[in-house]
Amino acid sequence: MTEQTPPVSALATDPEYRAAVIDLLGVLAYGELTAFERLAADAAMAPSIDDKAALAGMATGEYHHFTALRDRLELLGVDPAEAMAPFRRAYEEFHEQTAPSDWLEGMVKAYVGDGIGMDFYREIAAYVDDDTRALVLEVCEGLGQSAFIIDRVRAAIVEDPRAGGRLALWGRRLVGEALSQAQRVAAERDALSTLLVGGVDRPGTDLAEIGRMLARLTDNHSRRMAALGLAA
């Protein structure tokens, strides 16, 4: 990945760049808040007390990420609720279209659907200042849930091999919806788009690099599906 890092001072001197950083932090903050809500709801469907406890810990981690993003927005003099508001509809529509029918589908969604979204924002983070990028990469970490989800999904497939086909179809649906959501967010928010295409003092990317970025997103998705024991 080619990294073009604007100086931190750009937040004070470049209104377009500042707006892009606020959008990036805002979309991630709302994503972490909804992830907290969803994991708490998934805990209610968990088949065992240990699973409930694990999901509660994951939800707590998502909420800590939300508070870190909220605090950074406040440090920038921004109302966090106002920064998150433009992304509410996109997230709500995504979750309405990908509502899991059972606990296993919820686990695959947390790992596969959220994973490709986080990958997309990691890619965008290549074009922001060091402090912002460090926060984005921290927020996009998996909080250790990968091993837990992989173990539970693989065990379920061993117990009922028919579940594998259903969950593979579900994973493919999730990636399509997640990519559509990410592309929609970038298209609707001009400031975010400028992080990719660049500006007068901020070199951006080109069509070839965008193609490579999409290839990386697809490869990462395939690896996640393989880790779950599912066909991409």
- Tens digit of each residue's pLDDT (9 = 90 or more) over 58-107: 899 899 999 999 999 999 999 999 999 999 998 899 989 999 999 899 99
Distance CA 108, CA 231 (A): 13
Radius of gyration (C-alpha) of the chain in whole angstroms: 18
Q: Which CATH superfamily is domain 10-228 in?
A: Ferritin, core subunit, four-helix bundle (1.20.1260.10)
Lowest-pLDDT range of 20-29, 67-76, 125-134, 139-148: 139-148
Is 103 in contact with 45 (CB distance < 8 Å)?
yes
Please check whether residue 21 is in contact with residue 69, taking contact to mean a CB–CB distance below 8 angstroms. no
- Entry pTM: 0.85
